[in-house]
Amino acid sequence: MGNYKIRLNLDVSDITESSNNTTVNIETEISEEEASSIDSIEKIMLRINYDAIRKAVSEHLENISKKKPKSSKTELEEQLKKIVKNTAWTEK
C-alpha cells in the first residue's frame, strides 16, 4: 500500500450575505503505519481539526471586523468628552 491523505474542508458562511464566507482547507499525509492505528489517526484528526477551527474562527472574526462601520472623528471626540466628563479626577 502507500501513504494516505486526510483532507478537511471547513466553511463558515453568512446565509444572508455571500461575501462574508470563510473557507479553510487543510490536508496532511500519513503513512500506512499511522493509517493502521486508530490512536494515530485520532490524534492526527484532532490536530488538523483544531488547526482548521482556529484558522476559520480567526478569518471569520477578521471579516466581521472589516464589515463594521468605523466611527467618525466627531463620534470619537464626543465619546472622549463623555469619558473625561464622567471620570473622577483626584489630585495627589
pLDDT by position in tens, the chain (length 92)? 579 999 999 888 888 877 778 889 999 999 999 999 999 999 999 999 999 999 988 988 888 877 766 667 787 778 777 777 776 655 55
Specify if 92 maps to a domain.
no
For 25, phi then psi, to 5°, come to: -120, 120
pTM for the whole thing?
0.62
- Cell for 86? 464622567
Q: Please report whether residue 51 resides in a domain.
A: yes
Q: Note whether residue 91 is domain-resident.
A: no
The C-alpha cell that represents 69 in the structure block: 462601520
Q: Is residue 17 part of a domain?
A: yes
Q: Is residue 13 part of a domain?
A: yes
**Whether 63 contacts 20, CB under 8 Å:** yes
What is the C-alpha radius of gyration for the chain, rounded to an integer number of angstroms? 24
Which pLDDT score, from 0 to 100, does residue 85 have?
Answer: 74
**What was the pLDDT predicted at 71?**
63
Residue 63 is assigned to a structural domain of this protein: yes
Query: What whole-number distance in Å separates Cα of residue 9 and Cα of residue 84?
Result: 49
For the chain, how many structural domains are there in total? 1
Q: The domain containing residue 52 runs over which residues? A: 4-85
Q: Is residue 66 part of a domain?
A: yes
Residue 46 covered by a domain: yes
